[in-house]
């Protein structure tokens, strides 16, 4: 498992009180093309505009899906950063090539940390530079794995769900040597950049966990399934659910900050 920093240190260096979780449906066979464009050309321009590119991933179960997360210092900062980037020269240069790979880019959840200290701690992480203008090799990243779980909740239950998750689920996870890297709930503020749609009316709780490999994740899930403590906790959490949770099994790209 990829461990986070201690909670005591984490509170001093949290990143991005507003986060977008973006899932893109791509034309068949075009994912590597988009990853090449994104990793080589679209990261620095976005960060220079004032956002944090937290992670970009291949979905291991859906070969035509590209999943990524970016963060902002607030809703007004989000508006300013997105305006600067999408009106800027970097996006103008690569927009057509990137858009040519996509079928749909509107599956976007707008999120905020589920409780104090629940956001990402990105301190000490670094992003490899492109090699000779090309994206670096992914060969060293084949053992990296992330799981994003999206719980779809009944309206008005996010706060209670988050409280139960923190109080009941985290101790069970920690007993098995796992702690989520971040946890979020829906941000219901008005979309500050309507040129890019987000999914309105959503009530979700999202957790992000890192593991050394897909096999390590599978072992963790098997251990949880066999745990009476987890089954009792799961029943409590499911009481607030509107439909079954969705799990994204993800492999980071070579220049993902989370990798």
Per-residue pLDDT reduced to its tens digit, 165-220: 999 999 999 999 998 999 999 999 999 999 999 999 999 999 999 999 999 999 99
List the alpha helices (DSSP H) in 69-194.
Answer: 75-86, 89-99, 158-164, 170-175
Considering the segment(s) 8-122+142-252 as one domain, its CATH architecture is 2-Layer Sandwich (3.30)
Tell me phi and psi for residue 38, to 5 degrees.
Answer: -65, -50
The pTM (predicted TM-score) of the whole model is: 0.91
How many Cα atoms occupy the beta-carbon half-sphere of 239 within 13 Å? Answer: 11
- How high is the pLDDT of residue 9? 32
Q: Which residues of 217-249 are buried (b: 16+ CB within 10 A; e: fewer)?
A: beebeeebeeeeebeebbeebeebbeeebeebb
**Helix, strand or coil, per DSSP, at residue 47:** helix
DSSP secondary structure code for residue 179 in this structure? -
State yes or no: pLDDT of 27 exceeds 80: yes
- Express each pLDDT in 122-172 by its tens digit: 988 999 987 644 555 554 443 489 999 999 999 999 999 999 999 999 999
For residue 214, what are the CA distances in angstroms to 1, 15, 37, 247? 10, 26, 26, 13
Give the lowest-confidence range in 50-59, 65-74, 142-151: 142-151
The answer to whether the CB of 57 falls within 8 A of the CB of 67 is yes
């Amino acid at each position: 498992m990829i461990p986070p920093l201690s909670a005591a240190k984490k509170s001093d260096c949290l990143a991005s009180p507003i986060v977008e979780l973006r899932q893109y449906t791509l034309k068949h066979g075009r994912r590597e093309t988009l990853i090449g464009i994104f990793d080589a050309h679209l990261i620095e321009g976005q960060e220079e505009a004032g956002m944090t590119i937290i992670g970009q991933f291949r979905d291991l179960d859906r070969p035509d899906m590209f999943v990524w997360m970016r963060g902002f210092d607030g809703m007004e900062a989000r508006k300013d950063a997105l305006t600067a980037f999408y009106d800027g020269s970097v996006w103008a240069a690569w927009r057509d090539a990137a858009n040519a790979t996509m079928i749909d880019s509107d599956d976007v959840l707008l999120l905020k940390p589920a409780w104090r200290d629940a956001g990402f701690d990105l301190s000490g992480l670094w992003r490899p530079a492109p090699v000779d203008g090309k994206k670096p090799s992914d060969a060293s990243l084949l053992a990296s794995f992330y799981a994003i779980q999206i719980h779809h909740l009944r309206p008005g239950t996010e706060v209670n769900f988050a409280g139960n998750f923190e109080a009941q689920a985290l101790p069970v996870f920690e007993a098995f040597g796992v702690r989520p890297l971040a946890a979020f709930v829906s941000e219901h503020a008005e979309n500050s950049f309507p040129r890019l749609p987000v999914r309105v009316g959503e009530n979700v709780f999202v957790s992000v966990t890192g593991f050394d490999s897909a096999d390590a994740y599978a072992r963790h899930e098997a251990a949880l399934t066999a745990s009476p403590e987890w089954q009792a906790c799961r029943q409590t959490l499911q009481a607030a659910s509107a439909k079954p949770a969705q799990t994204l099994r993800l492999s980071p790209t070579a220049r993902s900050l989370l990798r």
